[in-house]
Amino acid sequence: MSSFKIATWNVNSLRVRLPHVLEWLYYVKPDVLALQETKLQDEAFPAAVIQEAGYEAVFSGQRTYNGVAILSRKKASDMMVELPNFQDPQRRVLAAMVEDIRVLNVYVPNGESIASDKYQYKLNWLKNLELFLRDELKKYPKLIILGDFNIAPEEMDVHDPKLWDGRVLFSEKERQAFQDMLHVGLADCFRKTNPSEKSFSWWDYRMNAFKRDLGLRIDHILASSVLVSACVKCYIDKTPRSQERPSDHAPVVAEFIL
């Protein structure tokens, strides 16, 4: 029996948030940390500094936008950076093996608004992710998909469901796409271990949203059935969000006894 701790964090620029990440790794010591919105080209990724902190890194980045990375105590292998049959210059996917677990880090498109072309891109992207997940689950029964899904699954995941009704991040089609992913054979670790807790993982920078706790739960850790039953704890760590110059997202952590 050993403990395995995995986390996801949209850092909104790893260049700006590197000190926050290093401090957080020091205190929380996860086995794996999946990052989104690194906003760094691969040549600029701070692999050496992260290695000094005791973590290996794999990454898929670009200038200005998007970018994903997986930090892990043990070196990751079998990396994939594209959804099959879906050409996309946006760096949003990073799958890798860490120990004997398939880790799939995603930065799902935001969608902007339901009238936007970006909303259609988001739905199409999610459909392709679901197809990829079906194949991945066949290959890897021990699978965790985590990241910024940009979807609040249920009313309980939104500070004001009436206000957010029909809006991007909480629209029917996005929520259905999220359920479709679960039906492939996954469960939401946070909801599984905290059936009625109203906690958020993202708060807008504006309007003092964090202080007023006007947030959404859009960052998730989903696990295959073998792993969900081994998940003993899942929580959102609000500490970094309350610090100076924070990301607008908080890290989400899941612990497994395997």
Partner DNA sequence: ATGGTTGCAACGCAA
**Binding-site member from 29, 63, 74, 212 for DNA (CB under 7 A):** 63
Distance CA 119, CA 69 (A): 24
Q: Which of 107, 119, 140, 235 is catalytic?
A: 107
Q: Judge whether 220 and 149 are in contact, CB under 8 Å.
A: yes
Query: In terms of CB distance, is 139 or 245 closer to DNA?
Result: 245
Q: Which of 133, 120, 128 lies closest to 182 in space, CA to CA?
A: 133
| Residues shown for the chain | 258
User: Which residue type sits at 240?
Assistant: P
Distance CA 76, CA 95 (A): 9
Return phi, psi of residue 243, to 5°: -85, 175
User: Which residue type sits at 1?
Assistant: M
The verdict on 12 binding DNA (CB under 7 A) reads yes
Distance CA 231, CA 246 (A): 28
Distance CA 187, CA 224 (A): 7
**Binding-site member from 5, 73, 118, 192 for DNA (CB under 7 A):** 118
The verdict on 134 binding DNA (CB under 7 A) reads no
Tokens representing residue 169 in the block:
């991040």
Query: In terms of CB distance, is 87 or 196 closer to DNA?
Result: 87
The verdict on 138 binding DNA (CB under 7 A) reads no
The verdict on 213 binding DNA (CB under 7 A) reads no
- Which listed range, 26-34, 108-116, 128-136, 157-165, lies at the site for DNA (CB under 7 A)? 108-116
Active site residue 148: yes
**What is the contact mask toward DNA in residues 73 to 102, using x (rule: CB under 7 A)?**
------------------------------
Q: Which of 31, 148, 157, 188 is catalytic?
A: 148
**What is the contact mask toward DNA in residues 172 to 211, using x (rule: CB under 7 A)?**
---------------------------------xxx----
Q: How far is the CB of 50 from DNA (least distance, A)?
A: 16
The verdict on 163 binding DNA (CB under 7 A) reads no
The verdict on 65 binding DNA (CB under 7 A) reads yes
Active site residue 205: no
| Long-range CB contact pairs, 153-158, < 8 A, 24+ | 153/178, 153/179, 153/188, 153/191, 153/217, 153/220, 154/191, 156/196, 156/198, 157/198, 157/200, 157/216, 157/217, 157/218, 158/216, 158/217
The verdict on 109 binding DNA (CB under 7 A) reads yes
Residues annotated as catalytic are 107, 148
Interface residues toward DNA, by CB under 7 A: 12-13, 15-16, 39, 63-65, 109-110, 112, 118, 205-207, 245
